[in-house]
Chains A and B, each alone.
Chain A
Amino acid sequence: MTEQRTLPRIGVLAIQGDYAAHADALAESGATPVEVRKPEELEGLDGLILPGGESTTMLKFLEKRHFFDALLQFCAQHPVFGTCAGAILLAREVRNPSQRSLGLLDAVVERNAYGRQIDSSILTAETSLPGGPLEMVFIRAPRIAATGNTVEVLARRDGDPVFVRQGKIMAATFHPELSTDRRVHRAFVDTLLATTGK
């Protein structure tokens, strides 16, 4: 019981998408997952995951439910990790088509840049995370077309960054939650623990 109390509580934005897969991955990576559907549910959380799904659906929902500003405020102050649609929401600029975003990650992200579902793929590539090459599940994936100086690239696909970190913000254009390798979620929990001093 004492151990449970010390685990960080990390929210998973649960508007739609594979939030349940992220919650499972967090539970396996030393954190307690909490589903978040309303602004008040962010209260008391140590960090947040923006999951995969449809970025337009999430964005429209955030705007309609007066949730955008509360989310921006939380993400500006806490560790946050976005995968695929979540990475699109975090980006400074979104293309194809252009859409509103939180603007916290100094990167330009192009939606559906590798094609449609028939072009989705599972690759294994080098990463600067310890433990060797990483499996990456790309589904109708976006492309990080440019990054700012403060953005550290943790993995690439054909030269393009696919996994990045900027201070306490992490983003991946693939879906680590759909693989069994938990190094990516552990890296986020470690980043969170280091920045919150827990």
Chain B
Amino acid sequence: MSETIGNKNLASTSLRLKVGLAEMLKGGVIMDVMNVEQARIAEEAGATSVMALERVPAMIRAEGGVARMAKPSLIKQIIQAVSIPVMAKARIGHFAEAQILQELGVDFIDESEVLTPADEAHHIDKHAFTTPFVCGARNLGEALRRIAEGAAMIRTKGEAGTGDVVHAVRHMRQIVKEMKALTVLSEQELYAAAKDHQAPYELIRMVAQAGKLPVPNFSAGGIATPADAALMMQLGAEAIFVGSGIFMKERATPLDVKNNPKEREEAVSRAKAIVIATTHFNDPKILAEVSEQVTGTMKGLAAAAIEESQLLQTRGW
């Protein structure tokens, strides 16, 4: 545990506490919520954490505009409403938004490609914060660059707001494949591997020895059904983020959980089923049973139909 990257000690108290909270979230589901009502539904359904935001990715995609950190008043209301950890998103590179989120008492900050990036070259120096960060990645090099900057949790980027799991699968398979490949290299080959992955040698060496990331590896981006959650867990994800999959109906229209009992029941059934599927990801009998209980699924958008320039996952490097 005496590994260091430059002057950053991976066994430092601060990083152990950050990774410690990520450990507590393993095997669970983190749900995007846009108001107190949704946060309560998520907690009641068994979410391990909620991500407070003003618009879920499906709405950001449909409505356009600049997507920023959520309003502090909304984040505070949600922190007040639930006893589980609350996460919130900051724009890539926007360390001032992150400072505000830390000040508000958010338990985890997602430096997220779903919001409009604030810096085209630099991600946030996450070592400078007490609050832990999660960051998205499409491949091992990207994951390790974020860890070098201080991320305490990695998630696949997938393609957020689509309800199409194909890119989350691609990114998880890529990360797992690249980790496996490192484990069979000799010591002297690791230097070139570090160059190829554009990642710090010390982290490449840790992955080569352990066969896994030094922080928990979760999955996000297009997960919409209990079967999607089980798929990602079987592919090696240690927990699941569900963004638009719980509370969205059409592309830009959320289920009306406040006034429409039937739509509320649909959201509840989706949330509960995904939680159970994530725990029992390896039990097809239970997966069949909970899949049957879901009364509807977001309409979604095939990721292959999205133009390259409209992809969220290419934000960040």
> Which residues in A have some Cβ–Cβ distance to B below 8 Å?
14-21, 37, 52-54, 56-57, 60-61, 64-65, 84-85, 96-97, 111-112, 116-118, 120-122, 137, 139-140, 175, 178, 180
Does the CB pair A140–B85 fall under 8 Å? Answer: yes
> Which residues in B have some Cβ–Cβ distance to A below 8 Å?
1, 13, 16-17, 20-21, 23-28, 43-49, 79, 83-85, 102, 105, 107-108, 130-132, 239, 272, 275-276, 278-280, 283
Taking CB as reference atom, which chain B residue is nearest A111? B83
Does the CB pair B27–A21 fall under 8 Å? Answer: no
Given contacts A121-B17, A139-B20, contact A16 B44 (CB under 8 A): no
A144 to B241, CA, bound (A): 32
A192 to B229, CA, bound (A): 37
Given contacts A64-B272, A116-B105, A118-B130, contact A137 B20 (CB under 8 A): yes
Does the CB pair A56–B107 fall under 8 Å? Answer: no
Q: Smallest CB–CB gap between B179 and chain A, Å?
A: 17
A16 to B25, CA, bound (A): 7
What A residues does B276 contact at CB under 8 A?
A: 61, 64-65
Option from A37, A84, A97, A140 in Cβ contact (under 8 Å) with B107: A140
What A residues does B275 contact at CB under 8 A?
A: 57, 60-61
Does the CB pair B27–A16 fall under 8 Å? Answer: yes
Q: Smallest CB–CB gap between A13 and chain B, Å?
A: 10
Does the CB pair A117–B108 fall under 8 Å? Answer: yes
A15 to B43, CA, bound (A): 15
Task: List 4 additional A-B contacts (Cβ < 8 Å) besides A117-B17, A175-B20.
Answer: A18-B26, A96-B83, A116-B105, A117-B132
Does the CB pair B83–A56 fall under 8 Å? Answer: yes
Does the CB pair B83–A60 fall under 8 Å? Answer: no
A89 to B182, CA, bound (A): 41
Given contacts A14-B27, A60-B46, A111-B83, contact A120 B21 (CB under 8 A): yes
Does the CB pair A117–B280 fall under 8 Å? Answer: no
Does the CB pair B105–A118 fall under 8 Å? Answer: yes
Does the CB pair A57–B84 fall under 8 Å? Answer: yes
Given contacts A118-B105, A120-B21, contact A54 B13 (CB under 8 A): no
What B residues does A60 contact at CB under 8 A?
A: 44-46, 275
Does the CB pair A16–B21 fall under 8 Å? Answer: no
Option from A14, A97, A139 in Cβ contact (under 8 Å) with B21: A139
Option from B24, B26, B280 in Cβ contact (under 8 Å) with A37: B280
Does the CB pair B279–A37 fall under 8 Å? Answer: yes
Does the CB pair A16–B132 fall under 8 Å? Answer: no
What B residues does A65 contact at CB under 8 A?
A: 276
Q: Smallest CB–CB gap between A98 and chain B, Å?
A: 11
What A residues does B239 contact at CB under 8 A?
A: 16
Q: Smallest CB–CB gap between B256 and chain A, Å?
A: 24
A41 to B172, CA, bound (A): 30
Between A and B, 24 residue pairs with Cβ closer than 8 Å are A15-B27, A16-B25, A16-B26, A18-B24, A19-B26, A53-B26, A56-B84, A60-B45, A65-B276, A85-B24, A97-B83, A117-B107, A117-B108, A118-B130, A120-B20, A120-B21, A122-B13, A122-B17, A139-B17, A139-B21, A139-B24, A175-B20, A178-B16, A180-B1
A120 to B107, CA, bound (A): 10
Does the CB pair A118–B131 fall under 8 Å? Answer: yes
Which of A53, A54, A111, A137 has the most chain B CB atoms inside 10 A of its CB? A54
